[in-house]
Amino acid sequence: MNAVERNSSVGAAMVVGGGIGGMQAALDLAGAGIKVYLVETKASIGGAMAQLDKTFPTNDCAMCTMAPRLVEIGRQKDVEILTLSQVEHVQGRPGNFTVTVRKRPRFVDEAKCTGCGTCVSNCPTRNQVQPLESAPVELEPGRRQAVTDILARHRNRDGPLMPILQEINAAFNYFPETVLQYVAEQTGYPLSHIYRIATFYSAFSVVPRGKYVINVCMGTTCYVRGSQRLMEKIGDMLAMQPGETTPDLKFTLKSVRCIGCCGLAPAVMVGNEVYGKLTRKDVAGVVRKYQEAS
């Protein structure tokens, strides 16, 4: 092989198989500036992962992993998708392959099709599921007003998602599902992304929480000075485990990693109020104070 031949590589790559791995490979290659042919034997890309709910071992939501990649591939101009296609023959050497692909007919001119769906609705033999238009999110008027106000406050802000979610969390004490859907609809953030953020931070919750959130500090100093026993005491008093909420939605019991009151260990925070140097007796008094409060 001479030097000229060695250098005469073509600037394109082929990824065979349009599953999650193939899609990611195609995106990475395209991102690196390489033209990619993505070959898939089925009528659409997506592969087996599209059929899964969760993936092992991390329990990640499969669709959440896949959906952004599907969208990105659709937008990526450097990826050419060859569906209903199969590789028949490969020749050449690294850097310069010639591949023969057999493409089965789709009976639709892909270059002209706009995806309008008219052929589906007019097909006399149609018995398939029709693509649904997403309905606008229904939200109770009271909530809608509150959320609209919050969204309006952050409209022209850089990186508004966190402040929006923080305010919603403060307003409702948790994230009602419809509210998150509404936020997704209004802001244009994918719902999957919003869920990702909403479930990442320990201050957020997607299930209703109590009016008073009791945070027992489990920082090193408090831990060493017996905050575990305060936790047990509160749990006994309210008949609940850490992480739970009382049925009357009054209390939620949680542990928190250091509230920076190590000089007053062990400390407990209820709402924004900090109580320090607590014994089990003291903490009972604190809880009672909130039990009596309306």
Partner 1 sequence: MPRLTIQGLREKREDARREAAARQAHLKGKIAIHMGTCGNAAGARGVRTAILEELDQRGMTRDVRLTVTGCAGLCSREPMITVEMRNSPAVKYGDLSAEKVRKIVAEHIVAGNIVKEYTVGIGSANGAPDIPFFKKQVPLVLRNGGVLDPERIEDYIASDGYAALEKVLLSLTPEEVIDEVMRAGLRGRGGAGFPTGVKWKVCRGEKKNPKYIVGNCDEGDPGAYMDRSLLESDPHSIVEGMIVAAYAIGARRGYVYVRSEYPLAIERLRSAIEQAREYGLLGDRILGCNFDFDMEIREGSGAFVCGEETSLLHSIEGQNPEPRQRPPFPAQVGLWGCPTVINNVETLANIPVIVTRGADWYSTIGTPTSKGTKIFSLVGKINNTGLIEVPMGITLREVIYEIGGGIPGNKKFKAVQTGGPSGGCVPASLIDLPLDYESLKQAGAMMGSGGMIVMDEDTCMVDVSKFFVQFTNDESCGKCSACRDGSEALLEVLTRITDGQGQEGDIEFLEELGQAVKDASMCGLGQTLPNPVLSTLRYFRDEYVSHVAHADCPGKVCKALIKYYIDPDKCPGCALCLKNCPAGAIQGSTRHIHIIDQAVCTKCGECLEICPPKVSAVVKLSGKQAREMRSLDAPIPASEWKKRRSEQAGTGAVQ
* Residues in touch with partner 1 (CB under 8 A): 58, 158-163, 165-166, 169, 189, 193, 196-197, 200-204, 215, 218-221, 223-224, 229, 256-265, 267, 269, 272, 274-277
Helices (H), strands (E): how many in the chain? 11, 11
CB of 173 to partner 1, least distance (A): 14
Cα–Cα distance between 16 and 102 in angstroms, integer? 13
DSSP state of 68: H
Say whether 207 sits in a helix, a strand or coil.
Answer: coil
Which CB, 30 or 267, lies closer to partner 1? 267
Could you check whether the bond before residue 141 is cis, i.e. omega within 30 degrees of 0?
no
Maximum CA extent, the chain: 89
Which CB, 42 or 257, lies closer to partner 1? 257
Strand ranges inside the chain, DSSP E: 12-16, 35-39, 54-55, 60-61, 79-82, 85-93, 96-103, 212-217, 251-256, 268-270, 273-275
Which CB, 104 or 157, lies closer to partner 1? 157
Q: What angle do CA 4, 8, 12 make, to 5 degrees?
A: 175
CB of 28 to partner 1, least distance (A): 14
Which CB, 87 or 161, lies closer to partner 1? 161
Phi, psi dihedral angles at 6 (to 5 degrees): -60, -35
Residue 150 token pair: 């919050």
Which CB, 107 or 200, lies closer to partner 1? 200
CB of 13 to partner 1, least distance (A): 23
CB of 222 to partner 1, least distance (A): 8
Q: Please return the burial class of 217, using the count of CB atoms within 10 Å of its CB with bins 0-12, 13-18 and 19+.
A: buried
The answer to whether the CB of 230 falls within 8 A of the CB of 268 is: yes
Which CB, 18 or 69, lies closer to partner 1? 69
CB of 159 to partner 1, least distance (A): 5
CB of 280 to partner 1, least distance (A): 9
